[in-house]
Amino acid sequence: MTITAANVPALRAAAALEELLALRAQIVADAEQRKIAIGGEGSSVEDPAINNLCHYLALRHHDIRPLQRRLMALGLSSMGRLEGRVLPTIDAVLQALAALAGGRQDLPPAPEESAFFAGETRLTEATADLLGMRGAGRRTRIMVTLPGTAGDGPDMILDLARAGMDVARINCAHDGPEIWRAMTAYVRQAGKVVGRDIKVLMDVAGPKIRTEAVATAENKARLQVGDRLRLVAEGEPRLDETVRFSATVSLPEMVTRLTVGDRLRYDDGKLEAVVESVAAGEAVVVVKRTKAGGTKLKPEKGVNLPDTALGLSPLTAKDETDLETVIECADLIGYSFVSRPEDIDLLDEVLARRGQGDRPLGLIAKIEQPLALTNLPGLIARARRRGAFGVMIARGDLAAEIGFERLAEMQEEILWLCEAASVPCIWATQVLEDMVKEGIPTRGEMTDAAMAARAECVMLNKGPAIVDAVALLDRLLGRMDGHLFKKTPTLRALKSW
């Protein structure tokens, strides 16, 4: 063929068509192997959401940026928003390329519109199944962590419901069954008043490591870079001339499993230290990084050990006991420290042993450890078989485990993976934190909250101004609904100009 200006687009389209066809064949072949890997040996996964997830994982092992640019130059989709529809997007682009190239008969058929958007439909249905139906106004739900005082009377929970709360979270690390039952009863009452089904999530604590008793050589002293902190497995905190800070911990065996050089992060990463020495029943860490002005050592603050293999079960003896009240009261279980598909089997075994019966309980897996990230496809495949399922991006613990720089990228990747699998995602930790605590938001946290609209649910923690924060978030999410759905901008009319 003689190359002329008129037929250059057709030639470019024909070349892109061949490249995309070859890529499609590789994706399909790779996805079949991935289905076996995440579903178990000999598994035949027929869930269309898991099929799409496997196609997405196969695609994302290729760098298709050069192909994307060639497609954009031809006026076609760059395939940059295909999380929920991998093969339908590829097949639609193949048909468009064939038309530009002059025709081709041996291609997969163009998807019908309903098939093209089937992933969005699956995700919408899964979200309603897990988090309840939502009326007009916004797509993203609002979850609120209830303080123990919410069990004192109905007023706070009713105010939260009127402000826009869709899910009430009860943290089983605090309070006890009597207060949990009272809060649940008030949530049910509030739901009837506002005419919405407000779900109750009960979050079992898991083997969370926290500081307990603390001691400092001077009152109001703060840990600074270079200071030493002694962690004690048993007994009381112990100070000496060289170690001016000490603490006992909620999980004594963690101290005995530390080795020199292991990193420790305290209070959602506000301080980072490294193990300097270990001895019988104690370890000394030296502070390497902390916030300006230092960090105060307090009881009940989280400790993360990103380098230390603790080998702990995600369910403690306390969790097993708490699950009896969860079965009685909750709609959803928040599962902390879940890392492997078999951890879900463990939970189901305990639920059956504790008398769950036929009452279905939705499951929310809190992704807060590197191993959970690695195993996320397998966790999703296993959990979807049991019923309503969602993922919480536990950004506090996750940042403390993988580092703040990596978190910004990883929270996006989790959103993409969950969308590919039609799994609702919860954006959690420190959302509108200043607003909740002080009554006035920062500019940065307003931007963070707006970006959270890409998730199916946003979680707020407790604080004095929580009702006002829910109302603000309700308005913000409603406006953001007109601007984007996941990665896709939606071009509603602008009225500022």
**Dihedral over alpha carbons 228, 234, 240, 244 (to 10 degrees):** 40
Q: Phi and psi of 484, rounded to 5°?
A: -155, 155
Burial of 362 (0-12, 13-18, 19+ CB in 10 A): buried
Determine the Cα–Cα distance for residues 273 and 231; give it in Å rounded to an integer: 12
**The whole model's pTM is what?**
0.91
Q: Decide if pLDDT at 250 tops 50.
A: yes
pLDDT for position 491 = 81
Token readout for 27 is 């994706």
Cβ distance 394 to 428 under 8 Å?
yes
Determine the Cα–Cα distance for residues 387 and 46; give it in Å rounded to an integer: 15
Determine the Cα–Cα distance for residues 396 and 427; give it in Å rounded to an integer: 11
pLDDT-derived band at 40, boundaries 50, 70, 90: low
Token readout for 49 is 């959401």
Instruction: Kindly report, residue by residue over 93-120, the tens digit of the pLDDT.
Output: 999 999 999 888 889 999 999 999 999 9
Q: Decide if pLDDT at 121 tops 70.
A: yes
Measured CA distances, 285 to 208, 234, 303, 497 (Å): 19, 17, 12, 57
Rg, the chain, Cα only: 25
* Mean per-residue pLDDT of the chain: 92
pLDDT for position 311 = 82
Q: Decide if pLDDT at 459 tops 50.
A: yes
pLDDT for position 41 = 45
Provide, rounded to the nearest whole percent, the portion of the chain with pLDDT above 90.
77
Q: How many CB atoms lie within 10 A of CB 443?
A: 7
pLDDT for position 443 = 95
**Mean pLDDT within 468-481:** 94
**Mean pLDDT within 82-93:** 97
Provide, rounded to the nearest whole percent, the portion of the chain with pLDDT above 70.
97
Cα torsion 421, 422, 426, 427: sign: positive
pLDDT for position 42 = 42
**Helices and strands, number each (H, E), in the chain:** 18, 19
